[in-house]
Structure 1
Amino acid sequence: MAVMDTQSATAPPAGVIARLRALLGGSSEASVTKRLAGTIFVIRVFSAALAYFSQILLARWMGGSDYGVYVYVWTWVLLLGSMMDFGISASAQKLIPEYRTRGEHALLRGFLSGSRWMTFAVSSIVSLLLAGAVKGLSPWIDGNAIVPLYIGCLTLPAFVVANTQDGIARSHDWMRLGLVPQFIVRQSLIIGLTAGAFVLGFNLGATAAMWASAAAVWAAMIGQMIVLNRKLGGHIEPGPRAYDFRGWLAVSLPILLVESFYLLLSYTDVLVLQQFRSSEEVGVYFAVVKTLALVSFIHYAMAATTAHRFAEYNAQGDKARLSAYVAHAIQWTFWPSLGATILLLALGKPLLWLFGPQFVVGYDIMFIAAIGLLVRAAIGPVERLLNMLGHQHICALAYALAFVMNLVLCVMLVPRFGGHGAAAATSISLAFETVLLFWIVRRRLGLHVLAFGKR
Structure 2
Amino acid sequence: MAVIQRVEHLLPARLHGPLHRIIAALSAHDDVARAQRMALIAFAIRIVSAAIAFFSQIVQARLMGDFEYGIFVFVWVLVVLFGNLSCLGFHSTVIRFLPQYHARDEIPEIRGITVTIRIFALGLASCLTVTGLILLNLFGDRIAGYYLTPLFLGLFALPMIALGDVLDGTARANSWPVAALSPTYIVRPVLILAFMLLAVMLGAPRTATTAMQAALAATYVTTLSQFATIHWRLRRKYLRGPRRIDFMVWFRVAIPIFLIEGFLFLLTNSDVMVVGLYLPPDQVGIYFAAAKTMALVQFVYFAVKAAAGPRFSALMNEDDIRPLALFAGRMARWCFWPSLVIGLLVLVAGEVLLGLFGPNFTAGYPLMAILFAGALTKALIGPGEMLLTMAGRQKLCVLLYVIALASNIGLNVTLIPLYGLTGAATAAASAMLVEAILLHIAVRYALGIVLFAFADPLSRMKQDRPA
1:371 aligns to 2:370 (yes or no) = no
Q: How does 1:154-233 map to 2 (within 5 A)?
A: 154-233=156-235
CA distance in 2: counterparts of 1:189 and 1:99, whole angstroms: 36
CA distance in 1: counterparts of 2:378 and 2:15, whole angstroms: 31
Partner of 1:4: none
Q: How does 1:95-134 map to 2 (within 5 A)?
A: 95-134=97-136
Q: Secondary structure at the match of 2:449?
A: coil
Moved over 3 A (4+): 9-15, 28-32
Q: 1:403-426: CA deviations, max 9, x gaps?
A: 110111111110121111011011
Cα shift at 1:92: 1.1
Q: Is the 8 A contact 1:291 1:351 kept in 2?
A: yes
Q: 1:243-272: CA deviations, max 9, x gaps?
A: 122111101110000101111111111111
Greater alpha carbon shift after TM alignment, 315-324 vs 293-302: 315-324
Structure 1 unmatched runs, 5+? 1-8
**AA aligned opposite 2:350:** G
Cα shift at 1:30: 4.0
Structure 2 unmatched runs, 5+? 1-7, 460-467
Q: How does 1:273-312 map to 2 (within 5 A)?
A: 273-312=275-314
**AA aligned opposite 1:399:** Y
User: Structure 1's 178 and 388: CA in aligned 2 closer, same or farther, altered over 3 A?
Assistant: same
Cα shift at 1:25: 2.6
1:16 aligns to 2:15 (yes or no) = yes
CA distance in 1: counterparts of 2:17 and 2:260, whole angstroms: 41
**AA aligned opposite 1:196:** L
Task: Specify which of 331, 335, 338 is matched with residue 337 of structure 2.
Answer: 335
CA distance in 2: counterparts of 1:296 and 1:11, whole angstroms: 32
Q: 1:133-169: CA deviations, max 9, x gaps?
A: 1221211101111111111110000000000000000
Q: Secondary structure at the match of 1:63?
A: helix
Task: Specify which of 250, 254, 265 is matched with residue 248 of structure 1.
Answer: 250
Identity %: 35
CA distance in 1: counterparts of 2:132 and 2:150, whole angstroms: 13
Task: Specify which of 430, 434, 437 is matched with residue 435 of structure 1.
Answer: 437
CA distance in 2: counterparts of 1:10 and 1:174, whole angstroms: 33
CA distance in 2: counterparts of 1:24 and 1:410, whole angstroms: 46
Cα shift at 1:35: 2.5
- Figure out how many residues of one structure are paired with residues of the other and give that number: 447
Q: Is the 8 A contact 2:58 2:357 kept in 1?
A: yes
Give the alignment's TM-score, normalised by structure 2. Answer: 0.93
User: Structure 1's 262 and 10: CA in aligned 2 closer, same or farther, altered over 3 A?
Assistant: closer
**AA aligned opposite 2:62:** R
**AA aligned opposite 2:434:** F
Give the alignment's TM-score, normalised by structure 1. Answer: 0.95
Q: Is the 8 A contact 1:24 1:34 kept in 2?
A: no
Q: 1:30-74: CA deviations, max 9, x gaps?
A: 443333112112212211221111211111111222111111100
Cα shift at 1:184: 1.1
CA distance in 2: counterparts of 1:118 and 1:395, whole angstroms: 24
Cα shift at 1:89: 0.9
**AA aligned opposite 1:73:** V
Cα shift at 1:15: 5.9
1:320 aligns to 2:322 (yes or no) = yes
Q: 1:210-233: CA deviations, max 9, x gaps?
A: 011011011100101111111111
Q: Is the 8 A contact 1:24 1:31 kept in 2?
A: no
User: Structure 1's 237 and 66: CA in aligned 2 closer, same or farther, altered over 3 A?
Assistant: same
**AA aligned opposite 1:323:** A
CA distance in 2: counterparts of 1:58 and 1:23, whole angstroms: 37
User: Structure 1's 65 and 33: CA in aligned 2 closer, same or farther, altered over 3 A?
Assistant: same
CA distance in 1: counterparts of 2:96 and 2:436, whole angstroms: 23
Greater alpha carbon shift after TM alignment, 25-34 vs 405-414: 25-34
CA distance in 1: counterparts of 2:422 and 2:245, whole angstroms: 49
Q: Is the 8 A contact 2:57 2:357 kept in 1?
A: yes
Q: Is the 8 A contact 2:35 2:311 kept in 1?
A: no
Q: How does 1:68-87 map to 2 (within 5 A)?
A: 68-87=70-89
CA distance in 1: counterparts of 2:237 and 2:23, whole angstroms: 26
CA distance in 2: counterparts of 1:255 and 1:46, whole angstroms: 29
Q: Secondary structure at the match of 2:245?
A: coil
**AA aligned opposite 2:20:** R
Q: CA RMSD in A?
A: 1.6
Task: Specify which of 260, 272, 275 is matched with residue 274 of structure 2.
Answer: 272
